[in-house]
Structure 1
Amino acid sequence: MKRHIITTADGSSTIQIEDWNEQYHSIHGAIQEANHVYIKHGLLFFIAEHEPAETAEISILEIGFGTGLNALLTFFKSEELAKTINYVGVEAFPVSAEELQQLNYTSEIADSKAIFKALHETPWEESHEISEVFQITKQQKFFKDISEENAYDIIYFDAFGARVQPELWTEDIFKLMYNALRPNGVLTTYAAIGRVKRILLSLGFEVERLPGPPGKRHMLRAVKR
């Protein structure tokens, strides 16, 4: 499938898959979307719910590591807040080195060049300390092969949309997500379609439909109560 780099509305870039008319991030702003959906309504929400800190470490699972943008933003937030984060990114088809070189996140996010490089150059299937408070493990596998239980505090569910990959938005996949979360764990996603909301509710999640990032009316956040 044809892929190329495009510039989104906030000036940050993303990868577009022409055959699907689908992007890795919102065309209305890649960085804006990541900050709104995953940092604000995922990480910061979880921290606010659990202050004062109840655990020494926050464990995050990203469904769709992709360009590494969500991990990059999470790294800087962990440094800012002095929160220790264990980050696991799952990706079946890693982005190529050539594509990564064309993304402009390091010019859009101050002092990020070395970190972005480290996130992508660390070997897959191994745990690596990027800083004293941020550890990452990248796993190359399909989402259906996730088997951890009660392992994560937060899930960034950033798979390609249900329009092009409906098999990633099924009850079976979200059951794996439910099992992977610890009690009171948070799943956040840019999606807001009714079918996904009904699946999450049926599995036992407490679900909120929240205002979406620029260009999108709504998004979903689910908590495992």
Structure 2
Amino acid sequence: MEKAIKLIETEDGSHSLYVPELDETYHSFHGAYRESIHVFFLYGLDHWYMHHPHKQPIRIFEVGFGTGLNAWLSLVWAEQNKIPVLYHSIEPFPIEEELYTQLNYPKLDEDISHYQGYFEELHRAEWDKGDSVTPYFNMKKDKTTLEEVKLYPTDMVFFDAFAPSKQPELWTKDILQKVVDALNPGGVFVTYCAKGQVKRDLAACGLQVETLPGPPGKKEMIRGTKL
């Protein structure tokens, strides 16, 4: 019998989930919220937008809807900046309501706490169907795998799969090539992972790869740009 997924608190006070079956967490022990902001926004979406300030809408593809943190922060980003975002996320194993209703992300920052109602709305959104959530945020969640999903042209990739040591099938060169092929010219791929083999494979797939400072508790991360 599989052990149940557990709610845990990370070092910045934000929650994450621990999966006993994989002996893995959904985020860094050093801070789930800080990790997401650092990897996917500071060095991801904010960086992309700085170089493409007039391109709208922004199309984001996320590997691993998971706790919904990246999707919710993207919604907040879209609303605050009044820039339309089309968000496509996949998750073959959605978490249960009893877990996502306990997650504390919307309560961590008073400046954006008024968006908290959208957090559970993102989780409750119908699978395999795209719809407008706010005036500036449209989301399509697919309950499927990276191997099976149909990808659309995209500007940003949030590659937030479990680590290569835990889910190696999601980090093969063929799978990475599928994702890179969906990136528009100038598109950006970001991940918390900093493995040398992943860097080499992304470069072989056609990205200009950078090794950047990682979030708290992690030395490095990867960003790739499609020229």
* TM-score normalised according to structure 2 size: 0.95
- Deviation for aligned residue 1:21: 2.2
- 1-structure distance, mates of 2:174, 2:120: 34
2:172 pairs, out of 170, 173, 182, with 170
Instruction: Show the counterpart of 1:24.
Output: 26
- Deviation for aligned residue 1:103: 1.3
Instruction: Show the counterpart of 2:66.
Output: 66
Instruction: Show the counterpart of 1:122.
Output: 125
Identity score, percent: 39
Letter of the 2:139 partner, please give it: I
- Deviation for aligned residue 1:82: 1.3
Conserved 8 A contact 1:146-1:176: no
Write out aligned runs for 1:64-143 (5 A).
64-109=64-109, 110-143=113-146
- 1-structure distance, mates of 2:75, 2:30: 23
- 2-structure distance, mates of 1:189, 1:172: 17
Write out aligned runs for 1:144-155 (5 A).
144-148=147-151, 151-155=153-157
Count of aligned pairs: 222
Q: Does 1:210 align with 2:199?
A: no
Letter of the 1:100 partner, please give it: Y
Say what the alpha-carbon RMSD is for the aligned residues: 1.1
Write out aligned runs for 1:30-69 (5 A).
30-51=32-53, 53=54, 55-69=55-69
Letter of the 1:48 partner, please give it: M
- 2-structure distance, mates of 1:162, 1:33: 18
1:187 match: secondary structure = strand
Letter of the 2:160 partner, please give it: D
- Deviation for aligned residue 1:18: 2.1
1:157 pairs, out of 139, 156, 159, with 159
**Deviation per CA, 1:90-131, whole angstroms, max 9, x where unpaired?**
111111111112211232241233110211111111112111
Instruction: Show the counterpart of 2:196.
Output: 194
Q: Does 1:9 align with 2:18?
A: no
Conserved 8 A contact 1:147-1:180: no
Which runs of structure 1 show a deviation greater than 3 angstroms over 4 or more consecutive aligned residues? Answer: none
1:145 match: secondary structure = coil
- 2-structure distance, mates of 1:121, 1:144: 24
* TM-score normalised according to structure 1 size: 0.95
Conserved 8 A contact 1:147-1:176: no
Q: Which runs of 5+ in 1 are unaligned?
A: none
- Deviation for aligned residue 1:148: 2.6
- 1-structure distance, mates of 2:83, 2:207: 26
- 1-structure distance, mates of 2:12, 2:101: 19
**Deviation per CA, 1:133-162, whole angstroms, max 9, x where unpaired?**
11111001110113335x100000000001
